[in-house]
A and B are shown apart, each in its own frame.
Chain A
């Protein structure tokens, strides 16, 4: 890693960037336009997000607040845990632990800097970690291994059984940093008494671990407050998802990102609720007027990303969607498996969903355990792809429900769990009538395939399949 990079505190660098971005709209339009000139590789992202109005501003502020929490965790006496996007942070917030979600931190970085996360990715390899591992964790993990981020107290993940490269990154980090490690384990199926009991037993062991690390007991009223907020958020997400079914969809493309980012950052916390509320308000307005959320106003196609999005700088994937008039119908990350979610009701999948029982501490812990087992990827990439509740079933039901014209896979070469069966999976989605495009790029690292090439191939797919003529 270059010496210059080591001279900046990683978290502070990101915090100051997003904090400054959250103030960009405070001045005049001219000042805003002038400011964008100084951030050429970030301006596209900022402009795309802020163009959505209040929700966008709320999103940037939420990002800044998340980063501020990390930067100030020590002075506030908080323990810090590095964790994963597919691990619900509600338990951390209920126990005053500051989460540092590696994948989210990687995206903060790749969105902001043209250089992306390359040097942090590579530092992991210098430390002995494999270069073939997933870039989503490595992109920021390198900073913590290099000691230029906040001091980490513990490492927590929930991907064993779902994603080796994810779980392995956290196991490696724990050893490298010599920090306590806890991992929730996921069996290959989702439902049934045996599986529920396993999830619950495992989650109780997690709670015991967190109590041991913090020296405090989990209090019922704290967890209740977080879960109460979470229920409000689930309701708002359900409304957003329902509106996403409208043709044209009133949701701007950036809303898919903001939807899941809000939950990854602040599930169960007020900033997430506020942001979701502002998104709902904006979408309601569009829906009432019958207009598309696309800035061009014309929805030409509806695309479903069956895995993740593409996160390199300036949010070029979302801006491409705007350019082409493609309405993004979400992805595996943006779906919530609350019992009230529209796709749960529509497909009668109530027994695959979670509900929150606030009766007492035990019931709340059990609820969180089951909710966590329904987190993105955790829910549907754990077993054979064509098994009930798994990836194919979810993809097809969502693509149908949201009237998708095509399906796209975007991921990373480090993703063993999807690349292991992606070809047969795509064959099934094609058979079901959805033209399917596989992006061979790395969603976090342009060095694998430039964005220009990724976009060219995507557009070629639209042309060849006569989707966009």
Chain B
């Protein structure tokens, strides 16, 4: 695997970010996959997905958030409070869910106690919770509001041409990731799920053009790769935000392989394109980001999401689905309950578990359940 991609995925202030900053570039962080990276790319700003990766505790997070809140935004705030995101020139908070939207409040208030942790550009970017003509109209207006704010704050111009170029660059990345996705789905794939997740995560932490080049290299390397992962149980990972490759590595062990996912750090990013035709680029962004309703934050669209899962399960020959949610992530937690009911009814084994975001804990308990789940898949294989 390409070491630079791995480094970008596993180091917050990675080499690409450092070099970008050294060259005088600016970086804006965002908290959710509904933020249109293309806007920042078009402004010559590096868009950067804020994560909680590497947080070892939540003392700062717990000071501002209440106790009944998802550990992902707490870990993000923990890192921000500890200076891990000091390289950010701006932050865009996207209300992906209630816990995440309160990162806005808590980060700003923490900034009153800890000088310098709130970047000078701090923007609340709203995203409607359903797809309809009037919600797309509204969202288009919101993207324009974001563009204006970025132009004003950073003293830049975001032209239509630059937006079209950004859309082309990101679409190219999405197409490449789709290629990678197809390789994961091969009967004997050349890449494990944990590695694939690293590749996807790296894309949200480095300049897009450089990423696309690395991705292309990576795909060529994988095509030439003679190592094939054989005889493993084929799993799909679904649910709450998961950017911890250690979790995927743990799930895979030496007996399983995560051949597909439906995660906001994973396949949800690249499973469709922004219209790059004559349509106004802002409109095109609004339509793509809102129509892509793979996240349960988009209420009333469960059936479509179930079909997406079912199609993926079929095309990737998935033998079992891991449905996980971070504690207090009710959106994924509840939808996982429905997925479990409906997928099991279709004969697809499911394993549902709740976890904390952050350092991998309770691995013994999880391992025991996972072993039993893999045995169940083995049993199904024997009777197939």
Contacts and interface: CB of A to CB of B under 8 A. Distances in A.
Given A172-B338, A175-B338, A386-B105, A419 B333 contact: no
Contact of B101 (A167, A185, A420, A427): A420
B338 A132 contact: no
Nearest to B110: A424
Contacts of B141: 194
Given A164-B97, A165-B98, A424 B337 contact: no
B72 interface: no
B148 interface: no
A424 B64 contact: yes
B69 A420 contact: yes
B66 A185 contact: no
A235 B334 CA distance: 41
A203 to B, nearest CB: 11
A388 interface: no
Interface string A152-165: 00000000110111
B129 A167 contact: yes
Interface string B290-302: 0000001101101
Interface string A371-390: 00000000000011110000
Nearest to B100: A420
Nearest to B65: A420
Interface in A147-198: 160-161, 163-165, 167-172, 174-176, 181-183, 185, 187-188, 194, 197-198
A295 interface: no
Interface stretch (B13-21, B82-90, B131-139, B249-257): B131-139
A33 interface: no
B128 interface: yes
A183 B98 contact: no
Contacts of B327: 132
B348 interface: no
Nearest to A200: B134
A132 B134 contact: no
B69 to A, nearest CB: 6
B340 to A, nearest CB: 6
Most buried by A among B65, B129, B303: B129
Contacts of B297: 164
A171 B299 contact: yes
Given A132-B328, A420-B66, A187 B134 contact: no
Interface in A375-417: 383-386, 413-417
Interface in A61-95: none
Contacts of A185: 128-130, 135
A194 to B, nearest CB: 6
A421 interface: yes
B98 A187 contact: no
A422 B105 CA distance: 10
Contact of B98 (A129, A171, A420, A422): A420
B69 A419 contact: yes
A424 B299 contact: no
Contacts of A183: 129-130, 299-300
Contacts of B134: 198, 201-202, 205
A181 B340 CA distance: 21
B331 interface: yes
A146 B104 CA distance: 39
B106 interface: yes
Given A130-B330, A171-B299, A185-B135, A176 B338 contact: yes
B337 A172 contact: yes
Contact of B333 (A132, A420, A421, A425): A132
A169 B330 CA distance: 9
A168 B63 contact: no
B334 A422 contact: no
B350 to A, nearest CB: 11
A133 interface: yes
Nearest to B66: A419
A202 B135 CA distance: 8
Chain B interface mostly helix, strand, loop or mixed? helix
Given A133-B334, A164-B331, A420 B99 contact: yes
B63 A416 contact: no
A27 interface: no
A416 B128 contact: no
A296 interface: no
Contacts of A215: none
Contacts of B193: none
A386 B109 CA distance: 10
B124 interface: yes
Interface in B49-93: 63-70
A330 B128 CA distance: 31
Given A164-B98, A419-B69, A420-B66, A188 B330 contact: no
A165 B303 CA distance: 19
Interface in A416-458: 416-425, 427
Interface residues of A, number: 50
B341 interface: yes
B98 A416 contact: yes
A378 to B, nearest CB: 13
B126 interface: yes
B349 interface: no
Interface in B98-124: 98-99, 101-102, 104-106, 108-109, 124
B341 A128 contact: yes
A13 B68 CA distance: 33
A127 interface: yes
Contacts of B69: 416, 419-420
Given A198-B138, A384-B124, A417 B338 contact: no
A160 B98 contact: no
A130 B333 contact: yes
A187 B66 contact: no
A145 to B, nearest CB: 11
A165 B97 CA distance: 10
Contacts of B303: 175
B106 A420 contact: yes
A422 B302 CA distance: 31
Contact of B102 (A176, A187, A420): A420
A172 B130 CA distance: 15
Contact of B99 (A127, A128, A188, A416): A416
A422 B66 contact: yes
Nearest to A425: B105
B47 interface: no
A205 B138 CA distance: 15
Given A174-B300, A194-B141, A424-B106, A168 B64 contact: no
Contacts of A201: 134
B190 interface: no
A129 B337 contact: yes
Interface of A: 127-130, 132-133, 160-161, 163-165, 167-172, 174-176, 181-183, 185, 187-188, 194, 197-198, 201-202, 205, 383-386, 413-425, 427
- Nearest first, the 3 A-B pairs at minimum CB distance are A128-B337, A420-B102, A419-B66
Given A129-B333, A171-B300, A421-B109, 10 more contacts: A127-B337, A130-B325, A132-B333, A188-B101, A201-B134, A413-B68, A415-B68, A416-B70, A417-B102, A422-B66
17 contacts: A128-B337, A128-B340, A129-B333, A129-B337, A161-B95, A164-B98, A164-B330, A164-B331, A168-B299, A185-B130, A198-B138, A202-B134, A416-B98, A416-B102, A420-B99, A421-B106, A425-B105
